[in-house]
Structure 1
Amino acid sequence: MVRHYKFSVVMKNTTRLCATKPIVTVNGRFPGPKLYAREDDTVIVRVINHVTYNVTLHWHGVKQLRTGWSDGPAYVTQCPIQPGQSYIYNFTLSGQRGTLLWHAHISWLRATMYGAIVILPKRGVPYPFPKPDREVVVILGEWWKADVEAVINQAIQSGLPPNISDAHTINGHPGPTSTCSSQGYTLNVESGKTYMLRIVNAAVNDELFFKISGHQLTVVEVDAIYAKPFKTDTLFIAPGQTTNALLTADQGAGKYLVVVSPFMDAPIPVDNITGTAILSYTGTLAASPTVLTTSPSQNATQLTSSFMDSLKSLNSKQYPANVPLAIDHSLLFTIGVGVNPCSTCVNGSRLVSYINNVTFVMPTTGLLEAHYYNIGGVFTVDFPGNPLIAFNYTGTQPSNMQTMNGTRLYRLAYNSTVQVVIQGTAMISPESHPTHLHGFDFYAVGRGLGNFDPVNDPKKFNLIDPIARNTIGVPSGGWTAIRFRADNPGVWLLHCHLEVHTTWGLKMAFLVENGKGPNESLVPPPSDLPKC
């Protein structure tokens, strides 16, 4: 089936925290419209840009098999849609079902331009868990009182970190705060019924905990991949990640607090305001007191670790875990924050991010177009697969914190198998990095603290039922190992999904060659592909 959507990008005056400002929206809605489809449907979204900013949209977690032109990251798979212009995104949800998200993929416009993607199973195909009575999308975000584009532009000019957000939102609402008693989101439930919450973290920079007072949640899916069900009272969701959880309304009638709070286990400023909503049972009196709960501590590393350890693929006959066992490319990517000289910046230097000491420079032509048409001088394919200089990554750091700049890609033959060990460093400060790969799901086969040991750590990898994801946390002062098969030709971004680090250059791209014949090749670009 073909599903058609029209997304008009328009400014909309919006009031939050008792203050009003114009924000960039799709169809005047915040959060943006939900996109509904079924597995194997084709989705056609016509995006018309009515604002003064350049715009692109990314369908986060959609594999875009051979349709890289619809992936959306600006200057990677397309030039932006300029003011007054339009572009049609056209893609098929091949073999995918579950919750994903769409968001702007240029500058920091995704602070307000985001929405859920709900992909139902094919007709007649049941969920691999008891069917819920109802499904509810819960999308988490961040809110700045200031104009977000001004916030990031000021930070780029100064070379300093951008100002942190002022609130966390649940379905667009922060709930009452100490300075503003505005109404939050209310989730109405009936006693005895089971609800599937499709929870999306669309925050710009914050990894989040999600908790409902008095209720357990059963996790059944993450990043549109079914998981072995497990019970927990707290979910941990990084920006770009999704979690489907079953909630049974098994408490007495009343109101129960829903809390969303940040995780940060590094000495780095974070928006520590808890977002709140209310879970309300049918028949509850308006004057009933709300059953409260406490948020996890901000640095609850152990909680995040045990949550991630609990995630396993079903690895069933119907939903197998096809983990690549023989590896063609074994890569070690160090990631972190460095400092480069900058004569116009406040301290004469600017903060940057890197992978293997390369700070990625965005081109002014789309990388996919340059690859397809063999346009020279846009990128090179010499991205280092290993650190150029080995050092004690999570220990004492080198005194030189400068990085190299470059638009460097890593070339992969079609269908080759790849292992990437993403190694956090202690440069400036170790911190958690949720990392997103476009164009693929990958298997999270291992992670640990300290420096990756290439001899002993792989012996502990889970190659039987590791969870597959599109976005994975790299623990502070530690590493994460992922594996995937490069069976999708195109140019695919790998980047930290904390927007501050992406802006600073914590990204690279894989160039996956065509295979044999049209079914293993990138489709030609659409006629309305935007020009730079």
Structure 2
Amino acid sequence: MSSVGLLKLVVLQWLVSRLSLGGTHYYDFVVSTLSDRVYIHASVETAKYTRLCSTKQILTVNRQFPGPTLYARRGDTMVVKVCNLAAYNVTIHWHGVKMPRNPWSDGPAYITQCPIKPGGSFTYIIDLSDEEGTVWWHAHTDWIRATVHGAIVVYPKLGDCYPFPKPHKEFIVILGEWWKKDVTEMYNETRGGLEPEPSDAYTINGQPGDLYPCSKTETFTMQLEEGNIYLLRTINAGLTNAMFVSIAGHEITMVGSDGSYIKPITTQYFMISPGETMDLLIQADQNPNSLYYLASRALNYEDPKHFDTTTATAIITYRTDIPQLIGRRFLIAVALNKIHDKFAASLNNISFNPSTSIDILEAYYYRVTSAFGVNFPDEPPYYYNFTADVQPKDVLVPMVGREVQFLEFGVGVEIVFQGTSVVMPEDHPMHLHGFSFYVVGWGFGNFDKERDPFAYNLVDPPFKNTISVPKNGWVAVRFRANNPGVWYLHCHVESHLVWGMSTVLIVKDGPTPDSQMLRPPRYMPPC
């Protein structure tokens, strides 16, 4: 008999918000049936779960695998009504909750209750006592808990604090196992005295990770911000193995286990057995432009032929502000030129010549509009083979001016610097004042706007403020215009700067006081 069914959790009512939890919390668990067909109905829905390139029917909670997380505070009461619409008997155990004087709601089938039969229901009353930290809930019938499980987060009482630094954010990390085979069949085989088959994959929050086939795009990812502390509420919901867990490049500090705080232990890795929970702190103190594995692998003393030797992975990234939506795009041809047989230099065929009577920032602030032009072009005035051995004479002599470009506050900006062979090909270290930018791509030859962006690195590009445009090549950078003011963009080869290889980007004020340029000092040197 195949395992079908859906344990569906519907949160009927939150009496208070998550930030002010306290008192009694009411939930409905509805158990309903999965099939291969999809129906649109208020009571019964269908779903499929695909892992490792194959699809099967599983028991889930609220169509979620793992199931939803329940939140409460120390000493609260949770009231959960379980309605079984599945084809199998079901009970729910509240793992780690002591249930003072109330074994009636503990949940193991045929120990403290008879199972909830298909079509039946039962209301659990879960009284929290001294639990604080992470506990969990799971089915306690047959092997149904392989996919029917979820976390319970118990916060301190209102007014109380953690006995460790308050984390910036927390993540639920549930370790599990996945079998391509139906787990009910495996349960029946185990009851018959056979050794359980090794799982086909270990999982982290229901996903095997990118070391398994057909799994890379669904790998669970956590995003951190540099400098912050994070709390990982970790549960081993697996059926058969203790798991070693580590995070590349990061130390782990264990501060709690099984709904209780412990003396902090800092380590490079830890082992967590089936049923255990651990509260772990990590400091986001690594290179934010890299990716890091959270890896989980089984402990087993047996012949490797008899257990799963694979490794589940999640990915830890650091939050960066790599613009994905671009509001302003520039293609800037970077060239050496000649004027009357003397060297000059230009960006988009304009050789910059600043005024010596007033600086551009002062002119912008006091609205002296005659001090500069506003027509620096977004692209070269005309296109040619930028890196050819022979160049047209039209591009040899640039215009001379003080053209700038305005940017709206907060807009995503992409600049492609295109090297040229006008006069002579050289590399040009381009520097932008007021910003660092992400170097998302580069190459040799002429930039192809239809093809080259497909190769951009938008995951972990270098974060710089100066980048060399390769000889007869191009480089693409992105940044967010979130620093209001007047900012110089120029080649950092001094002779090229003197010859005019520069321009100015003016970022307008934003809508709030902290997004607006500061007032000038009382004294600025006069020109």
**TM-score range with shorter-chain normalisation?**
0.5 to 0.7
Change in Cα spacing, 1:178 to 1:70, as seen in structure 2 (3 Å) is closer
Give the alignment's Cα RMSD to 1 decimal.
1.7
Contact kept in structure 1, 2:230 and 2:283, CA below 8 Å? yes
Query: AA paired with 2:203?
Result: T
Q: Please report how far the alpha carbon of residue 267 of structure 1 lies from its aligned counterpart in structure 2 after TM superposition.
A: 4.1
Q: Greater shift after overlay, 5-14 or 161-170?
A: 5-14
What is the CA distance between 1:225 and its match in structure 2? 1.3
What is the SS of the residue equivalent to 2:162?
A: coil
Q: CA deviation at 1:24?
A: 0.7
How much does 1:29 deviate? 1.1
Q: How many Å separate the matches in 1 of 2:255 and 2:87? A: 41
Which one of the candidate residues 235, 252, 257 is aligned to 1:217?
A: 252
Q: Is 2:253–2:267's contact at 8 Å kept on the other side of the alignment?
A: yes
Say which SS state the counterpart of residue 175 (structure 2) adopts.
Answer: strand
- SS in structure 2 of the partner of residue 25 of structure 1: coil
Give me the whole-angstrom Cα distance separating, in 1, the residues matched to 2:60 and 2:309.
Answer: 25
- How many residues of Structure 1 are paired with residues of Structure 2 in the alignment? 289
Distance 1:286 1:139 in 2: 29
- The alpha-carbon deviation at position 218 of structure 1 amounts to 0.7
Whether the 8 Å CA contact 1:190–1:282 is kept in 2: the answer is: yes
Show the counterpart of 1:5: 27
Tell me the SS of whatever aligns to 1:151: helix
C-alpha spacing 1:60/1:131, structure 2 compared with 1 (3 Å): same
Contact 2:93 2:140 in 1 (8 A): yes
Deviations 1:323-372 (A, max 9, x none): xxxxxxxxxxxxxxxxxxxxxxxxxxxxxxxxxxxxxxxxxxxxxxxxxx
Give the SS at the match of 2:134. strand
SS at match of 1:152: helix
Structural mapping, 1:431-442, within 5 Å? none
CA distance in 1, matches of 2:152, 2:132: 10
Counterpart among 226, 247, 251 of residue 282 in structure 2: 247
Matched, 1:164 2:186: no
In the aligned structure 2, how far is the partner of 1:136 from the partner of 1:181?
21
Cα-to-partner distance string for 1:292-332 (whole Å, 9 max, x where unaligned)? xxxxxxxxxxxxxxxxxxxxxxxxxxxxxxxxxxxxxxxxx
Cα distance change, pair 265–162 in 1 and its aligned pair in 2 (3 A):
closer
- Report the residue type matching 2:240 in the other structure: N
Match of 1:279 in 2: 316
- Among candidates 67, 91, 99, match of residue 56 of structure 1: 91
CA–CA distance in structure 2, aligned partners of residues 255 and 144 of structure 1 = 28
Inter-CA distance 22–178: structure 2 relative to 1 (3 Å threshold): closer
Shift in CA distance, 185/178, structure 1 to aligned 2, threshold 3 Å: closer
1:74 aligns with 2:96: no
TM-score for both structures, normalised by structure 1: 0.53
Distance 2:150 2:241 in 1: 17
Percentage identity across paired residues of the two chains: 48
Secondary structure of the equivalent of 2:244?
A: strand
Offset, 1:261: 0.4
> Which of 39, 63, 73 pairs up with 1:28?
63
Match in the other structure for 2:236: 201
Residue 187 of structure 2 corresponds to which residue in structure 1? Answer: 152
The Cα of 1:32 is off from its aligned counterpart by 0.4
Three-state SS of the structure 1 residue aligned to 2:59 is: strand
Tell me the amino acid that sits aligned with residue 185 of structure 2.
A
Give the structure, 1 or 2, with the largest relative contact order (CA under 8 Å, sep 6 or more).
Answer: 1
Counterparts of 1:35 and 1:265, CA distance in 2: 35
Alignment partner, residue 361 of structure 1: none
The residue number in structure 2 matching 1:305 is: none
Residue 288 of structure 1, CA deviation: 3.6
2:271 pairs with one of 203, 220, 236: 236
Structure 1 unaligned residues grouped into runs of 5+: 290-532
- Name structure 2 gaps, 5 residues minimum: 1-22, 35-46, 323-456, 462-527
User: What letter is aligned with 1:180?
Assistant: C
Conserved 8 A contact 1:15-1:21: yes
* Secondary structure of residue in 2 paired with 1:188: strand
Q: What amino acid sits opposite 2:123 in the alignment?
A: I
Contact 1:151 1:163 in 2 (8 A): yes
2:211 paired residue number: 177
SS of the residue corresponding to residue 246 of structure 1 reads strand
Matches within 5 A, 1:378-393: none
**Matched residue SS, 1:78:** coil
1:90 and 2:125 aligned: yes
Contact 1:9 1:28 in 2 (8 A): no
- Structure whose CA Rg is larger: 2
Q: CA contact under 8 A between 1:168 and 1:274: conserved in structure 2?
A: yes
Rounded Cα–Cα distance in structure 1 between residues aligned with 2:85 and 2:220: 29
Alignment partner, residue 259 of structure 1: 295
Task: Report the Cα distance in structure 2 between the residues aligned to 1:233 and 1:189, rounded to whole angstroms.
Answer: 19
